[in-house]
Amino acid sequence: MTFSNIRIILLCFVSANTLGVPRNFNVDYKNDCFRKDGEEFRYISGSVHYNRIPRAYWKDRLLKMYMAGLNAIQTYVPWNFHEPSRGQYNFSGDRDLEHFLQLAHDIGLLVVLRPGPYICGEWDMGGLPAWLLNKKDIVLRSSDPDYIAAVDKWMGKLLPMMKPFLYQSGGPIITVQVENEYGSYFACDRDYLRHLTKLFRSHLGNDVVLFTTDGAGVRYLKCGALQGLYATVDFGPGGNVSVAFDAQRHAEPHGPLVNSEFYTGWLDHWGEHHSTVSTAIVAKSLNEILAVGASVNLYMFIGGTNFGYWNGANAPYAPQPTSYDYDAPLTEAGDLTDKYFAIREVIKLYRKVPEGPVLPSTPKYAYGAVQMKKLHTVSDALEVLSLSGPVKSIYPLTFIEMNQAFGFVLYRTKLPVDCSTPTPLSSPLNGVHDRAYVSVDGVAAGILERNKALTINVTGKAGSQVDVLVENMGRINYGKDINDFKGLVSNLTLGADTLTGWAIYSLSIDQAVSQGLLWEPGSGEAAPPPPSPLSVPTFYGGAFVIPDGIPDLPQDSYIRFPNWRKGQVWINGFNLGRYWPARGPQVTLFVPAIILSTAAPNNVTVLELEADPCTPGHCTVEFTSTPVLNATVNSDHKHQRALFRRDDLL
Ligand SMILES: *[C@@H]1O[C@H](CO)[C@@H](O)[C@H](O)[C@H]1NC(C)=O
Ligand SMILES: *[C@@H]1O[C@H](CO)[C@@H](O)[C@H](O)[C@H]1NC(C)=O
Ligand SMILES: *[C@@H]1O[C@H](CO)[C@@H](O)[C@H](O)[C@H]1NC(C)=O
Ligand SMILES: *[C@@H]1O[C@H](CO)[C@@H](O)[C@H](O)[C@H]1NC(C)=O
Ligand SMILES: *[C@@H]1O[C@H](CO)[C@@H](O)[C@H](O)[C@H]1NC(C)=O
Ligand SMILES: *[C@@H]1O[C@H](CO)[C@@H](O)[C@H](O)[C@H]1NC(C)=O
């Protein structure tokens, strides 16, 4: 490079940034490209959801994305993550979106922002807050006035926060997506999209590029594209790239080609085989996309984890597991893969990738087996789990009616008649959302499961206590069934009678776990139940110490559950998520080192819903250094999939 070249570059830099000449980013319809500060520009972006990664790891993941040769990242903003109850906002800690954007900016990554309000994303209710269902017949993602009022208020909070991060204001955000794959939704309400467009413009101004994303088919773009929003498409590897972009051209005859979701892998469901997509096919299609000069976003570049209760579900009801590894180029734990390096090689053909070593995968440590002991059954711990006590109701109430969004609710009643012979206890189809653990007088009687297990037999005397613990396994995040109420959404029947006279307990399990309340001894030791294939939902606890004298501990780990069947696990009060090795394919849960302590024993609390792993013999959980996400599955429904498109979910 000659001296004069350098001077010109410096001059450009100075004039664009210091001398107040506005930074600009826009669509050039004449030349079919984006323009950044006047220069032709295309982005090669990767999806990373800050809400699926602990804050302490954001920088590591973003640096690895930068080193892969990406010049941008893409993230959703899940509304329900930031407004957990109406009017109560949380942008701190792991929810500190501004910090995340600032990190990306500091590293040199541009941002494609997808603030919804609906995001899909295999996230509970597609990011919409469950409290919207307080209006029973609300039409989500439409001009329904109550929905619009809530959206206006939320966007009135979020978008002004985002404005300083726009490229035009000196920040990293180059484009902002409005809604998400709206053309796949039944409502097809153009007034709603028009309203969102006006709303986004009123907060963000007229300069920012607003866009939509829809499946690469004319039928999706029909209801998804709107004048004033730049229409882009999404499609996975293995198809015909030029045919896919023809669909975009149908809606957008001129301007840059953009694939907003190029699938590097695919999502999982409990009870279905782990999805993988070959590196060769990803590399080949990426090369074809870049060769036609398109902008692209790799979905996901790192999937991360559905910690806590955040996973979503597809319909017919099929919840996603805790891991959102996605077979992405960076693993759930942020580790480098062959796919990462193959993608980097493809990008190298089109743009200079940063030199220097790529940050290594983080080391993992196998802390070994941890002895667990039984603490309390859920039914015995109601005093600490349900501080407000029960709500009495003739018929069952939903989670929302109980003012609870996530987790578990206990429904208690009595057998109205003697059931000396096995008597069917039943729910209608789709009546239990999503899984109900039934016991009679403290003895497990069976499990009802949404659309799958509708009847169990119970025996007992009239007046026996019936406890039905109902688990919310994640709200549907895609399609017409996103109004997904939880709990007993229909009556249960015993023989020919409708069960009535319920005492319904809202449970604050997370609070009780983090305050250590479940570790306190109970009021009386219950006699051990008879050995049985099924046990009542029970808490177990154990602790382990990080060994001394080994450098760089604590490190990340994985936890597995030999002899356990299904439940929820917390470490030091942090809700790691659901485990369900009995169904698969996920067997281990990611344990980020950031939640571990060297100063005190680390407390593991498990709520096991089905089986007592402690009889016979001793029960342990195990910390290992390798993940298992692809065990053989144990399920009656296995729908196989050949293509990687939204159509798979219809
Ligand atoms: C906000 O979210 C952070 C991160 O999840 C959490 O630690 C904190 O307790 C939340 N704050 C409130 C007030 O709930
Ligand atoms: C993609 O489809 C176009 C139009 O049908 C066809 O001309 C082209 O050969 C196909 N490309 C590949 C790689 O199959
Ligand atoms: C319930 O008991 C009846 C009669 O013993 C039996 O035929 C039926 O299979 C049982 N149903 C279930 C779900 O166990
Ligand atoms: C239960 O049945 C009663 C009486 O038929 C009905 O009014 C009520 O809506 C039902 N409850 C649920 C949750 O389906
Ligand atoms: C685990 O629980 C014990 C007993 O309640 C407590 O002393 C300790 O600080 C806890 N460990 C951590 C890491 O919070
Ligand atoms: C699961 O994945 C591991 C690591 O990629 C692989 O070695 C193993 O063969 C896979 N197992 C199954 C059952 O597919």
What percentage of the chain exceeds 90 in pLDDT?
90
How far, in Å, from the CA of 334 to the mean position of ligand 5?
Answer: 28
- Starting from the CA of residue 292, give the closest ligand: 2
> Percentage helix, strand, coil, to 5, in the chain?
25, 30, 45
The contacts of residue 127 (CB under 8 Å, 6+ apart) are: 76, 77, 78, 79, 80, 81, 116, 117, 118, 119, 120, 121, 477
Say what the pLDDT of residue 465 is.
98
| Model pLDDT for residues 290-318, shown as the tens digit of each residue | 999 999 999 999 999 999 999 999 999 99
How far, in Å, from the CA of 633 to the mean position of ligand 3?
Answer: 26
Cis ω for the linkage preceding 434 (within 30 of 0):
yes
How far, in Å, from the CA of 630 to the mean position of ligand 6?
Answer: 6
pLDDT at 21 over 70: no
How far, in Å, from the CA of 242 to the mean position of ligand 2?
Answer: 7
Q: What is the mean pLDDT of residues 64-72?
A: 98
Q: What is the mean pLDDT of residues 623-629?
A: 98
Say what the pLDDT of residue 641 is.
40
In angstroms, the CA 561 to CA 576 distance is: 13
How far, in Å, from the CA of 243 to the mean position of ligand 2?
Answer: 7
| Model pLDDT for residues 177-200, shown as the tens digit of each residue | 999 999 999 999 999 999 999 999
Cis ω for the linkage preceding 300 (within 30 of 0):
yes
The contacts of residue 129 (CB under 8 Å, 6+ apart) are: 79, 80, 83, 84, 85, 86, 150, 405
For the chain, the average pLDDT equals 93
| Model pLDDT for residues 334-379, shown as the tens digit of each residue | 999 999 999 999 999 999 999 989 999 999 999 999 999 999 999 9
- Starting from the CA of residue 55, give the closest ligand: 1
Residue pair 462/416 in contact (Cβ under 8 Å)? The answer is yes
Ligand 5 atom closest to the Cα of residue 543 is 1
Retrieve residue 354's tokens: 């940063």
Is ligand 4 within 6 A of the CB of residue 625? no
User: Which residue, by CA, sits nearest to atom 8 of ligand 5?
Assistant: 600
How far, in Å, from the CA of 602 to the mean position of ligand 5?
Answer: 6
User: Which residue, by CA, sits nearest to atom 11 of ligand 2?
Assistant: 240
User: Which residue, by CA, sits nearest to atom 12 of ligand 1?
Assistant: 90
pLDDT at 235 over 70: yes
Q: What is the dihedral of CA 518, 520, 521, 526, to 10 degrees?
A: -10
- Starting from the CA of residue 455, give the closest ligand: 3
| Model pLDDT for residues 161-176, shown as the tens digit of each residue | 999 999 999 999 999 9
DSSP 481-545: T-----EE-S--EETTEEP--EEEEE--HHHHHHTTGGGS--SSPPPPPPP-S----EEEEEEE-
| Model pLDDT for residues 417-475, shown as the tens digit of each residue | 999 999 999 999 999 999 999 999 999 999 999 999 999 999 999 999 999 999 999 99
Ligand 5 atom closest to the Cα of residue 601 is 11
In angstroms, the CA 581 to CA 602 distance is: 23
Ligand 3 atom closest to the Cα of residue 455 is 13
Q: Choose one of 456, 457, 459, 534 to mutate for the ligand 3 pocket test, by most ligand atoms within 8 angstroms of C-beta.
A: 457
DSSP 5-73: HHHHHHHHHHHHHTS-PPP-EEEETTTTEEEETTEEE--EEEEE-GGGS-GGGHHHHHHHHHHTT-SEE
Least Cα distance to 362 among 592, 516, 569 occurs for: 592
Ligand 2 atom closest to the Cα of residue 246 is 4
Tell me the pLDDT band of 521, cut-offs 50, 70 and 90: confident
Is ligand 5 within 6 A of the CB of residue 605? no
How far, in Å, from the CA of 77 to the mean position of ligand 4?
Answer: 37
Sheet-wide strand order for 455-460: 455-460, 419-426, 493-494, 497-498
Q: What is the mean pLDDT of residues 538-564?
A: 96
In angstroms, the CA 484 to CA 405 distance is: 11
Is ligand 3 within 6 A of the CB of residue 457? yes
pLDDT at 513 over 80: yes
Say what the pLDDT of residue 633 is.
85
Is ligand 4 within 6 A of the CB of residue 498? yes
Retrieve residue 125's tokens: 């209710």
Tell me the pLDDT band of 272, cut-offs 50, 70 and 90: very high
Least Cα distance to 129 among 94, 189, 82 occurs for: 82
Say what the pLDDT of residue 20 is.
58
Q: How many CB atoms lie within 10 A of CB 491?
A: 17
CA angle 315, 318, 319 (to 5 degrees): 120
Q: Where are the beta strands (DSSP E) in 163-284?
A: 173-177, 209-215, 230-234, 258-263
Retrieve residue 227's tokens: 């004048």
Say what the pLDDT of residue 618 is.
79
Ligand 2 atom closest to the Cα of residue 242 is 1
Q: Which residues are catalytic?
A: 181, 261
pLDDT at 7 over 70: no
Ligand 4 atom closest to the Cα of residue 490 is 14
Is ligand 3 within 6 A of the CB of residue 495? no
User: Which residue, by CA, sits nearest to atom 9 of ligand 6?
Assistant: 630
User: Which residue, by CA, sits nearest to atom 5 of ligand 2?
Assistant: 243
Say what the pLDDT of residue 511 is.
97
Q: Choose one of 375, 513, 572 to mutate for the ligand 5 pocket test, by most ligand atoms within 8 angstroms of C-beta.
A: 572
pLDDT at 18 over 90: no
Tell me the pLDDT band of 14, cut-offs 50, 70 and 90: very low
Tell me the pLDDT band of 637, cut-offs 50, 70 and 90: very low
Q: Choose one of 630, 632, 634 to mutate for the ligand 6 pocket test, by most ligand atoms within 8 angstroms of C-beta.
A: 630
**Residue 114 belongs to what H/E stretch?**
strand 110-114
How far, in Å, from the CA of 343 to the mean position of ligand 2?
Answer: 23
What percentage of the chain exceeds 70 in pLDDT?
93
How far, in Å, from the CA of 457 to the mean position of ligand 3?
Answer: 6
Residue 15 phi, psi (nearest 5): -70, -35
The contacts of residue 240 (CB under 8 Å, 6+ apart) are: none
How far, in Å, from the CA of 600 to the mean position of ligand 5?
Answer: 6
Is ligand 1 within 6 A of the CB of residue 95? yes
The sign one gets for the Cα dihedral 593, 596, 602, 608 is: negative
Residue with tokens 């070994």: 368
Q: Name the residue with higher pLDDT: 392 or 4.
A: 392
Q: Are strands 557-560 and 502-506 parallel, antiparallel or unpaired?
A: unpaired
User: Which residue, by CA, sits nearest to atom 3 of ligand 3?
Assistant: 422
Q: How far is CA 648 from the centre of its chain?
A: 19
Q: What 3-state class would DSSP assign to 423? A: strand
In angstroms, the CA 119 to CA 124 distance is: 10
User: Which residue, by CA, sits nearest to atom 13 of ligand 2?
Assistant: 240
Residue 277 identity (one-letter amino acid): V
pLDDT at 392 over 60: yes
- Starting from the CA of residue 543, give the closest ligand: 5
Say what the pLDDT of residue 522 is.
61
How far, in Å, from the CA of 141 to the mean position of ligand 4?
Answer: 28
How far, in Å, from the CA of 425 to the mean position of ligand 3?
Answer: 10
Retrieve residue 318's tokens: 């099929």
Ligand 2 atom closest to the Cα of residue 288 is 13
Residue pair 485/398 in contact (Cβ under 8 Å)? The answer is yes
The contacts of residue 149 (CB under 8 Å, 6+ apart) are: none
The contacts of residue 13 (CB under 8 Å, 6+ apart) are: none
Is ligand 5 within 6 A of the CB of residue 31? no
Say what the pLDDT of residue 104 is.
98
Is ligand 5 within 6 A of the CB of residue 600? yes
Retrieve residue 179's tokens: 């809604």
Is ligand 1 within 6 A of the CB of residue 90? yes
Q: Which residues form ligand 2's pocket by a CB distance below 6 Å? A: 240, 242-243
Q: Which residues form ligand 6's pocket by a CB distance below 6 Å? A: 630, 632
Q: Are strands 295-302 and 39-41 parallel, antiparallel or unpaired?
A: unpaired
DSSP 277-306: --HHHHHHHHHHHHHTT-EEEEEEEE--B-
Residue pair 39/174 in contact (Cβ under 8 Å)? The answer is no
Q: What is the mean pLDDT of residues 112-127?
A: 98
pLDDT at 415 over 90: yes
Say what the pLDDT of residue 519 is.
87
The sign one gets for the Cα dihedral 198, 203, 209, 211 is: negative
User: Which residue, by CA, sits nearest to atom 4 of ligand 3?
Assistant: 422
| Model pLDDT for residues 580-615, shown as the tens digit of each residue | 999 999 999 999 999 999 999 999 999 999 999 987
Ligand 3 atom closest to the Cα of residue 457 is 1
| Model pLDDT for residues 144-161, shown as the tens digit of each residue | 999 999 999 999 999 999
Least Cα distance to 248 among 229, 266, 275, 264 occurs for: 229
Residue pair 466/499 in contact (Cβ under 8 Å)? The answer is yes
Residue pair 205/173 in contact (Cβ under 8 Å)? The answer is no
Say what the pLDDT of residue 30 is.
98
* Measured distance between the N- and C-terminal CA atoms of the chain, rounded to whole angstroms: 54
